[in-house]
Structures are given as C-alpha cells and as structure tokens.
Amino acid sequence: MNINELWPVIQQKVDGMLEQIGDKSPHVAVEGCYDDARKDWWTSGFWPGILWIMHDMTKDDTYKLRAWDWDARIEQCFMQDNNFHHDVGFQFLPTAVIKFKLTGDKDARRRGLQAASFLAGRFNPAGSFLRAWNQDKHGWAIIDSCMNLPLLLWAAEESGDPRLRYIACDHADTVLQHFIRADGSVRHIVSFDPATGEFIEAIGGQGHSASSSWSRGQAWALHGLANVYRYTGELRYLHAAKRVAHYFIACTSADPIPLWDFRTEDPAAQPKDTSAAACAASGLLEIAALVSEEEADMYRFHANRILTALAERYAVFDQTKEQILIEGTGHKPANQNVNVGLIYGDYFFVEAIAKCNQWKQRIF
Ligand code: GLY
C-alpha cells in the first residue's frame, strides 16, 4: 500500500464518520461504536481536530461547519463543575487555535488565549513543571504535557507575552532533566515536592512500572519535543526528541506497531497500542521536517513503515466500524479501554497522512 495515495480513502472514511458520529464527543470505540464522552474530558478536541484538518486539506466547508462550534462547547464547561487540567492543549489547540489560524475568528483566538492562561496558572515555579491533574496531586508532572506546550508557545507569539514561552521552556527543560533517561526511554509520572520542587520519585502511571517504558508516553515525548523545537529553535529539544525517536525505532525493529509498554514481563501476552504508533509516526514526520535532508530520510522511512503497517493491518476504511484504527490501549494497568478504538489514535493517523500529503499547517 502506498501511504501517499491514502488521502482519498481517509476522506471517504471521515465522510462516513460524520454521519455515524453525529453530535457525539467520541473517545473510545467498543465493538465499532464510539461513545459520547464529557466535553471537558481531555479527548474532546480530537474529533473536531480531524474535521479542521479535513477542511484545510480540501477547503470543503462541510467539515468547517461541523467543527465550528466545538471551541465554544468546550469553553462552556469552564462555567460548570469540570475536569480541566494540564490537557487543555489537547482540547483547545485542535479547536479554538486551529479555528483562529484558519478563519481569523476572534472568539476562537480569545478562547485559545484563555486556555493558555489556565495552563500557565498550573506552573509550579519551585520545581519548574506544569502540574498534572487535580485533587491532591500537587507535585505530579507527566510526560503527556509535552504535547500541551504548543498552546503556551502559540499564545506567547500571538499575544507577545514572553512569560508563556518561559513557562513552556522551563517545563520542557524539566522533562529533559527528569523524564528522559540516558537510553532515550521516558518516565510517565515524576513526583516533586510541591513546596520545594525537589525530585521525590518516578511513578509508573499508565506504564507497567516506574522503570518501564509506556509506548504512548514515548510518542508524546518525541512528537511534543519536536514541536517545542519548531517553536523555539532551541536545539536541545530537537536532540531530546531524536533520542526518544531512536529508542522508539529500536524497540519497534521487529514489529512497527508497539506493545502498550516496551518493558513488560510477558511481551507475548501484551496488547498493542495503535495510538502510540500513530502519534509516533506523526512525530517522526515532524522531526523529518526539522532536520537536514541527509537525516530526514531515516525518520520518513520509519514513519512510513509504521503508517503502512497501520493501514494494512489495523485500519478499517469502510463503515463497518465508526473508528479508523483498531487495537488501541488506553490504560492497561487499570484495565481500562484495552483493545479498542481511540479517537486520538484516529486523529494522529489522519494528521500523519495529511503530512504525507503536503499538509503544511500545524495543530500541535
Ligand atoms: N493523556 C492521557 C493518555 O495518554 O492516556
């Protein structure tokens, strides 16, 4: 299968999803049918994000009209009891920010800037990290936040306020210091003393253990740090993204589609995570676009290898299922959402195929 020729197939699939998904806020697909998750859930931006990519690629207003009010709907949740946290980048970059970039809509700009202020308000200056989640986890930071940093970096450029860029870079430097191991593998959670900022311990989180290597966490790091380099031009972020990418490539030499964690006790019995594969592929294409042509081929080759495997063995292009990718794993240690469709897997697959087809705009 030639990945570069897949775009019309994706477009036809998304047209069918428009009918099937209707007004739902899809997160998990079980037996081929997407659920309807809360709008304040961290995944609520991905379906509208797919629609904005489709609109930008095709200029067809059908997608724009269906994506249009998502930023307002998500913003409404701020007025109620809600679960917003470090992941507002996942929610407002593929809705408000991309809507503003593509249409100039002023309300969308305001919503994007407000979400960035909310995220900046989660910064702990003692430990130089964006705190994860809510409740009593005052000192926790997680690798996923790498993907939220472009919200701060976009807002710094858009508003001219450099504080937001300092916060993004300080958090990214903490990731380089405390999350990325010498071999390029990454931790999921690091706990700091919230008062002094001192490192306490690494925690397994959605990975198998504190010393394991959760494959989606690797993908968040490699894609997220490549994006931070794109915004800042600071080479240490590109070098870190490449180190994680090389580790990811080494761990997928036998099979391009990763298990949910690269270090488990019984690999043969473990489920895959296609969402990690899709996000890593898109991140590898991002690195390819940022390095010299001599280096770029290697990253493109491995992105292509992953995307081809996804398309040939893990994608449903007809309408027998609402999702695109099968065999995603949400949270294996909690046995939640294992071997399902995940909207973020679908999003990053579409994002990566769009990049293969000359899509130059960026959401993350
Ligand atoms: N950001 C949560 C996850 O990757 O599952």
Which helix (H) or strand (E) segment is 135 a member of?
A: none
Q: Which atom of ligand 1 is nearest to the CA of 330?
A: 5
CA distance 231 to 217: 21
CA atoms 118, 22, 37, 56: torsion sign: negative
Which residues fall within 8 angstroms of residue 330, CB to CB, at 6 or more apart? 28, 336, 337, 338, 340, 342
Nearest CA to ligand 1 atom 2: 144
CA 50 to chain centre: 13
Q: What is the CATH number of the domain that holds 134?
A: 1.50.10.10
CA distance 46 to 94: 6
Distance 108 CA to ligand 1 centre (A): 25
Q: Which atom of ligand 1 is nearest to the CA of 206?
A: 5
Specify if 179 maps to a domain.
Answer: yes
The pair phi, psi for residue 241, each rounded to 5°, is -60, -40
What pLDDT digit, counting tens, does each position of 201-260 carry? Answer: 999 999 999 999 999 999 999 999 999 999 999 999 999 999 999 999 999 999 999 999
Nearest CA to ligand 1 atom 5: 330
**Structural domain of 195:** 3-356
Nearest CA to ligand 1 atom 1: 144
Specify if 209 maps to a domain.
Answer: yes
Distance 217 CA to ligand 1 centre (A): 8
What pLDDT digit, counting tens, does each position of 120-138 carry? Answer: 999 999 999 999 999 999 9
243-273 burial, b if ≥16 CB within 10 A, otherwise e? bbbbbbbebbeeebbbbbbbbbeeeeebebb
Closest CA to 348 of 2, 10, 34, 22: 10
Specify if 363 maps to a domain.
Answer: no
Alpha helices in the chain (DSSP H): 7-21, 46-58, 61-67, 70-76, 88-92, 98-103, 106-120, 149-159, 163-178, 215-232, 235-251, 274-290, 293-309, 343-356
Pocket perturbation via mutation, ligand 1, pick of 42, 188, 336 by most ligand atoms within 8 A of CB: 42
CA distance 343 to 17: 12
Burial of residue 292 (number of CB atoms within 10 Å: 0-12, 13-18, 19+): exposed
What pLDDT digit, counting tens, does each position of 320-354 carry? Answer: 999 999 999 999 999 999 999 999 999 999 999 99
Specify if 362 maps to a domain.
Answer: no
Specify if 126 maps to a domain.
Answer: yes
What's the pLDDT at 1?
A: 82
Which residues does ligand 1 sit against, CB inside 6 Å? 42, 87, 144, 206, 216, 330
Name the residues annotated as catalytic.
Answer: 87, 144
Which helix (H) or strand (E) segment is 138 a member of?
A: none
Q: Which atom of ligand 1 is nearest to the CA of 147?
A: 1
CB 154 within 8 A of CB 167: no
Specify if 48 maps to a domain.
Answer: yes
Specify if 212 maps to a domain.
Answer: yes
Q: Which neighbouring-strand residues pair with 272?
A: 259
What pLDDT digit, counting tens, does each position of 243-266 carry? Answer: 999 999 999 999 999 999 999 999
Distance 356 CA to ligand 1 centre (A): 25
CB 45 within 8 A of CB 88: no
Distance 330 CA to ligand 1 centre (A): 7
Which residues fall within 8 angstroms of residue 136, CB to CB, at 6 or more apart? none
Distance 60 CA to ligand 1 centre (A): 31
CA atoms 335, 253, 357, 228: torsion sign: positive
State how many domains the chain has: 1
Burial of residue 278 (number of CB atoms within 10 Å: 0-12, 13-18, 19+): buried
Specify if 44 maps to a domain.
Answer: yes
The pair phi, psi for residue 137, each rounded to 5°, is -85, 60
What pLDDT digit, counting tens, does each position of 3-60 carry? Answer: 989 999 999 999 999 999 999 999 999 999 999 999 999 999 999 999 999 999 999 9
Q: Which atom of ligand 1 is nearest to the CA of 87?
A: 1
